Structure 1
Amino acid sequence: MGVITRAVTVTAVAAAATLATATAVPAINSYNATPAPERTEVGALVATWDNDGNPATPDRVDWVCSGTMVDADTFLTAAHCTSDWPANVRFYVSLDQDVQTGLDNAAKKYPGDPTAIAKAVAVAGTSHTESGYPGNSADSHDIAVVQLPAKQVAARWTFKPATLPGAGQLDKLGPQALNATPFLVAGYGTQEAVNGPGGQTHPGGGVRMKAPVTFDALNKTWVRLAMTAPQGNGGACYGDSGGPNFATIGGKLVLVATTITGDSPCYATNVTYRLDTPTARTFLAPFVALP
């Protein structure tokens, strides 16, 4: 859903105030969700950027979206996660289970140094955003990758890259088979809306979580997945943008779509961008071997 979740300023006073109140809490949502330490291919997109009008040095750092390693050096995420940033934004990827605690600890160790904080938890990369983004309602082109130094990633984390779908694989299955297909969403995002005196808030975030979801609808570029609690589903929320939606097809977990948007309270529907379409495959082809 939304890209920015919680920004950590690195002025000494603001950092101290943030760290004094920050605690690691579950992501995705609070119902039917569990930690996902085994989903080591799922990571968080971390950014450093300028927020004080002096672009010479970044002064903010935070995790901002979710995503998935699809080979040794390619992190798949959403285009709206890598777009519309200040000119000096720098992207990093972390495959840590608890990115928020890592950032908090690094802020204590490296006060006032967002680059050092980011490097403490993540590896720097280069983003590539689909040139057609933002597209239109039929095809938003909302897909991006971050290319990473494979040796640096392998030195810090062990993971098996996600399996991408074949061309038109969801169309071949069709709605009837998809209704019987188990789906799983994962990411670092916040929880569903909580009502309070000041209105709705979305607590949590920064910890890799997973939740079951079920098929709702399929069209040209979108898969809509139900997040309704009575059916045993969980779901995605703010900060899960770019994160994976897996389907179990032929006994194998396949990364079929990425989280893009949904209902604002994060209770009903996860709207995800298909990865088996011509647009997605054309974009991905220069970066990863496609099935």
Structure 2
Amino acid sequence: LRFSLAAASLYELKELCCHRDQQTVPSTYFLSKLEEAKLLRAQGQHDMAIGLGKYILKNHTDERNKSDVYRLVGKWLAETRSSNSRTIIEDYLNHSVALDKKYMSRQCRTHFHLAHYTYNLFKSYEERLSSNEWQAALRLRKYKTKELDTLLKRLKNSSKAEKSDYGAKIQELQKQLALDREEAQKIQDDRDEFLSLALEGYQRSLVVGGKYDLQVVFRLVSLWFNLFSRKQVVDSMIKTTKEVISFSSISLFLLVLFSLPC
């Protein structure tokens, strides 16, 4: 019933827009398109909703409303895993944050959503780095390293005919190990970057508004306790406590701390 009522209302709104010059009512026209995208999303037509959202971004000029579209499309892409995380962050969520810098009342929400998304990415990378599959990959890399060392030693005392064979094997192992190390380093760098973005986003959401105080404080304290050995987490907590001047936020920090078991 709700979908039917929403669809009927949208139809009436679009009919109203069609009987006017689109140039005179651009905001109303594109806001109706945004509501249509939301309705499509609610009805499970994810690809159509995302496609319509992208159409709005391409044709809409009102930056105030455009920020919300960037946020929603980024959120929908993340939920449906229709795009990679870099694209979602750089092409959508970061744009939403940048546009909302002009509108203080909306900054809290955009910072929180960016932080929430990057925090979940950080968690997924942490889980990957502690998984059985990753540990097996580390053991395999260690075995390859030992094998390479053995081949290098044999190469020194090998005959001319053997040198060619050993050389090919050594080259292949070196290539594999280089790729393995590069992949491992990239994963760790991405994990650290996502953590940094999450910490910064949560901090900014506390500084500019109080809408998500409780969620943010619990998340920050949890990160602090679980990752107290990481300098970036400690530095972020120090920076946050210095910048957050809201009495309610500080009270929440104290409430969380005192509620924890000794």
TM-score range relative to shorter protein: under 0.3
Query: TM-score, normalized by length of structure 1?
Result: 0.24
Larger radius of gyration: 2
Structure number with higher helix proportion: 2
Question: Which structure is richer in relative contact order (CA contacts within 8 A, separation 6 or more)?
Answer: 1
Structure number with higher strand proportion: 1
Query: TM-score, normalized by length of structure 2?
Result: 0.25
